[in-house]
Structure 1
């Protein structure tokens, strides 16, 4: 019996749920404009009944006129919307827009008063103690205020929607431009590195062919990573470190015992997002400008500090100033590209310094938060 009762309850509720779902589905099939019209004029009708009851002193007349005039007002405002669209009023508030709103709202108000007057005459619902001229004047002012208010609300809403759409388009255009520039800067790194790497391999081939072959294999690993991440402007720090290992292997094969490089990555930093190929220009700059009189020593450390990712690249050598006041490490294609990518990926959320300490050139990079990707 209990099971039958529960089954009966389900059967009783299911049709109601289906009806409710059908009503909701039909409601959302109606355009946003007409859904708004229905809600706004329904609320207006409630207030209108009270107003008419005060004027007519007759609840039947108040109810009937409200029920008859509300659809008329809805149609008139739909006509106003059609006229504004035909006239090309795209939502911007201007002198031309104001003139059309004032004129068309007055015409619509005159139509509303004519229809209202005809209904009052047909059903014999006069307004107590009002003559015809007074009724026309008051009703015209009332309907004009209502329709002009509707017009102002409609135009204001269109203006807001238009501004929002323009802001979204501008933001999308900015994001597209940022994404395009980031992709361009990222792709510039590969030809630059390949040019240097292939030159290094070419110099090894005559005297050290086995070494050149090893460099080609390491270069292949590096390029495989480059192709796998060619569409990714942001990767995990651990993944970036793997690319750096492949790059250092190529350089070790090139310089042999004259290059000693050490890479240490804090395990807590492995999963942190970082702009792809951001660290290579720092290491490349250290190899290019570091002192190789005896052995070029490079120490690379990546660690976290709260919300910051800290990178330090140290190499043996000196920071020789240029005439413009910057160190020789501060120029070149790699660092120019590097600084631009920093500005795009970490706008206002990064710091980069070059200094000399105890015979070592130190490049220090602090990155805050998640890098922008342009998506």
Structure 2
């Protein structure tokens, strides 16, 4: 977040309208962080992630390339722990885009099945030449797994791994059953 504040400060003189947009994006992220114990819809989580990426685009410029692959139909209504998706994408920014000197693509794909919704986040593995310049944001993969387990039991999962020099995250969320939606 300190990088985002520095970005906003730099934009104030060069592009005041962009600075205003960046402040609004940052406010949305802070608002979500203050409600970290709450839930959000999948649509809201994706919107928050878009705002986060808009902030990072100001900072990282053409190095940050995002490929969204979403269904044409509206996403099913599903609730998940707030700040589930954004920290996963933030890890991709931190461990891939920030380490790359060239444009680096993060691919975010949502697959809707009859019983579950899968979200895939894919980024190239960039080898590090020096230790990271900053610590993480405190929301670890295990924290996300724990919050998913509290909400969904074993019906949700979060898996990570390296395949073909790409780091991949797969988040699987159960679709609510008809009786769960009514009650």
* Band the TM-score falls in, shorter-chain normalisation: 0.7 to 0.9
Q: Which has the higher strand share?
A: 2
Mapping of residues 78-97 of structure 1, within 5 Å: none
What is the rounded CA distance, in whole Å, between the counterparts of 2:23 and 2:111 in structure 1?
27
Q: Distance in 1 between matches of 2:127 and 2:158?
A: 15
CA drift of 1:267 comes to 4.2
1:257 shift after superposition: 0.7
Q: Note the C-alpha offset of 1:266.
A: 2.0
CA contact (8 A) 1:215 1:253 kept: no
TM-score (norm 1): 0.38
Counterpart selection for 1:352 from 158, 166, 182: 158
SS in 1 for 2:18: helix
Secondary structure at 2:40 match in 1: strand
TM-score (norm 2): 0.72
Residue ranges of structure 1 left out of the alignment (5+ in a row): 1-193, 321-330, 371-375
**Structure with the higher fraction of residues in helix conformation:** 1
From 40, 63, 67, the equivalent of 1:262 is 67
1:174-226 deviation per Cα after TM superposition (whole angstroms, max 9, x unaligned): xxxxxxxxxxxxxxxxxxxx344224445x46xx9426862552231352476
Matched, 1:341 2:160: no
Aligned to 2:124: 316
Distance 1:225 1:285, change over 3 A: closer
Q: Tell whether 2:81 aligns with 1:273.
A: no
Using the TM superposition, give the Cα deviation of residue 358 of structure 1 relative to its aligned residue in structure 2, in angstroms. 2.4
Query: Unmatched 5+ residue regions in structure 2?
Result: 129-135, 177-183
Please tell me whether the aligned partners of residues 268 and 304 of structure 1 are also in contact (alpha carbons under 8 angstroms). Answer: no
> Given the alignment of the two structures, is residue 217 of structure 1 paired with residue 25 of structure 2, yes or no?
no
CA contact (8 A) 1:300 1:313 kept: yes
Q: 1:215 to 1:285 in 2, by over 3 A?
A: farther
Q: Distance in 1 between matches of 2:62 and 2:114?
A: 37
RMSD: 3.3
Pairing 1:231-250 to 2, within 5 Å after superposition: 233-250=38-55
State how far apart, in whole Å, the 2-side matches of 1:333 and 1:232 are: 14
Bigger radius of gyration among the two: 1
